Structures are given as C-alpha cells and as structure tokens.
Amino acid sequence: MKKCIYCLESKPEESFAKAEHVIPQSFGLFQDNFTLNQPHNKAVCDDCNQYFGDNLEIDLGRDTIEGISRYEYGIRKPKDFKSLGNRSRIQHKKIAEGVLKGTFYYLAYSQELNQITPKPLPQVGFQNKASSSYTYFLLDDIPDKTELENQGFDCAANVRAFGNSFEAIEQALAAKGIFPGFQEEIPLPDQKSEKMLVEFEVSVDSIILRAIAKIAFNYLAYWQGAEFVLQDVFHPIRFYIRNGERRETPFVQIRDKSILIDEPSQEFRRIIHVVTVNWAQNGLSIISQVSLLNYLSYTVQLAMNFPGQILNLRKGHLFNLGDHKIYELTAQNKM
C-alpha cells in the first residue's frame, strides 16, 4: 500500500500506474522528463492524476496567456485551437491603435493563415459628438439610449457594428430603444500583411493558480520524495491544489517578470519553462517559483514555518523547448 500525496488515501501500488508529469505534457515533452510514480517514488494516485487532467490542466492549457503562447511557439498546432469565445478568461482584446481602436476581440484559428488570429466579437460602437472618437460595447453591455446620450454619444447616426448576425445586433439595440443609422462598411486591416496590436485582459482564477501550485508541489515531491511531502506541514498546499481549500494569505503570487536575472527582455525572452524551490527570505517557509514559457513568474508558498533543516532543498531547473532537454540552474543565475 502507498499513500497519495494529494488525497492522502492509502491504495495498492497498481493505483499509481499513470506517470504524473511535473510540467504537464501539454506544455511539451522533455528528455529524461521529471515524472512522479516511478517504481521508487509512487506519489500521485490515478484518481488524482485524472482529476488534475480534467479539471486543472485543461484550463491551464486552453485559457491562459501561456496556453495560447503554445500555438505561437509550435508546441501545439494552430488548427487544434478551440476558442472558448465569450466564456474565455482571456477577454476583451482591444486593438490599441488605428481605425479599430477600442474594439473587442477574441482569438480564433484562421485556416487561411494557419495561425491563431484575433476576430471581432459582436459589438456596436457609438461616436462621441464632441471628440468624434468611438466607444464600443459588447451586445450584452449596451447602455440605455438616455444614458448614452447623456454621455454625449450619437445614437442616431454613424453607429458601427461588428458581428455575423446583423439581426442580433439590431435586436440588441432595439431593446435599448436605439434604432440607428449605421456607418458604411469600414475596410478592415489586411491580416496577412499587417500585424495587429492587441491588448489582453486576462483573469487568473484559482483553477489556474492551483494548476501552477501543482507544478511546484510535484517538483518538490520529485526531488525530496513522496514520504517527505506527506508531512503535515504540507497539508494546506496539498488541500488547496486537490480541493481548492483556500486560506487568508494567498498560496500563489504573480509577477510580470522573468525568474532568471539574465533574461534579455520580455520581448526577446527564451522559450523555456523554469521551476525552482528554495527557502523564503525568512529561512522558515519553503517557496517555489514557476514560469511557463518564461512569461509570468508565479511564486508558490509550499510550506509555512517548516520545522527543521533539509539538505539540498535549493534547486532549480530550466526546461528548454528548443532541444527538449532539462538543465539544472546554477546558483548565480537563479532568482
């Protein structure tokens, strides 16, 4: 019998058959990959492995900036992209400049370009009478006619509309008492030759943060072994990852910065994942840093006030998506 590091249930060895990857397989495969459930380190039961795949990793792959970046860097084929549309955590991608400034976009696969491109969501734009500039609203968010007029918008003429169903747009407007004249067709930028500048608004919720925390906890379990991470001091992070149990202090914090200090810049970042584990500055807590595709950095608190010393706790690895090899980080370029 072995005890699972997530659900704490004791189960026969056959229930630990699936390989549990430290870096989810959907983010690339690596030579001599770090996985749990090898004969000497049975750690995650197949039920927990299945639960994580179905509930945490699916969203980590589909609905995060890191997940979308997989298509850009060839980890995934653009044609396999499935848009979550309005349900996506990545929303309201406004073109930052040009004639379409302020419009709302979602990401979709373009067969013609064989890449993921922004496409307009159904929306309407009203012109401000004083400034001539446009403000856009998704169909569900259109204010009442009086409210729009009070804000100085022209509801009678020059209204812009985007979407596949003109009828749906007219209905949404009619519901707010607006029966406008529309502006003539605007030429859209040629997506083949022009790069569109898009702003993202991403919400990162506990499903995503738990998926990140699991990478950190798996990494610790990989190096220190299942017995070690079964200690009571790891109960809070374990139950957060497995059951979503929260506490007052967040387990995961996000930074818009690379973990590695020698990273040239956000614009020319290396296509790597990074995972580290170390003592926190107070020398008592155990923390891990995780970065997928070297984009955002997540700091995960794995244990608060760990009782005692651990030899060789400090570790860090770089998962290179270029040659699919894993490199150990040295002290100088760590953190």
Determine contact, residues 34/27, Cβ cutoff 8 Å: no
Residue 321 touching Zn ion (CB under 5 A): no
Question: Is the Cβ of residue 107 or residue 215 nearer to Zn ion in the bound state?
Answer: 215
- The minimum distance between CB 16 and Zn ion, in angstroms, equals 9
Rounded to whole angstroms, the Cα distance separating 236 from 221 reads: 15
- The minimum distance between CB 221 and Zn ion, in angstroms, equals 12
Residue 48 touching Zn ion (CB under 5 A): yes
Binding segment for Zn ion (CB under 5 A), chosen from 3-11, 167-175, 247-255, 275-283, is 3-11
- The minimum distance between CB 7 and Zn ion, in angstroms, equals 3
- The minimum distance between CB 310 and Zn ion, in angstroms, equals 24
Report CA-CA distances (Å) from 185 to 18, 89, 260: 55, 30, 48
- The minimum distance between CB 225 and Zn ion, in angstroms, equals 16
Residue 237 touching Zn ion (CB under 5 A): no
Of residues 22, 45, 124, 221, which one binds Zn ion by CB under 5 A? Answer: 45
One DSSP character per residue, 70-82 reads HHHTTSS-GGG--
Residue 6 touching Zn ion (CB under 5 A): yes
Rounded to whole angstroms, the Cα distance separating 298 from 209 reads: 9
Determine contact, residues 66/75, Cβ cutoff 8 Å: no
Q: How many residues form the binding site for Zn ion (CB under 5 A)?
A: 5
Could you tell me the two tokens for 33? 């990959």
Residue 217 touching Zn ion (CB under 5 A): no
DSSP at 234? G
Question: Is the Cβ of residue 54 or residue 72 nearer to Zn ion in the bound state?
Answer: 54
Question: Is the Cβ of residue 8 or residue 310 nearer to Zn ion in the bound state?
Answer: 8
Of residues 4, 155, 213, 241, which one binds Zn ion by CB under 5 A? Answer: 4
Give the containing element (helix H, strand E) for 213: helix 206-224
Binding segment for Zn ion (CB under 5 A), chosen from 27-35, 42-50, 82-90, 156-164, is 42-50
Counting Cα atoms < 13 Å in the Cβ hemisphere of 162 gives: 20
Which residues are near Zn ion by CB under 5 A? 4, 6-7, 45, 48
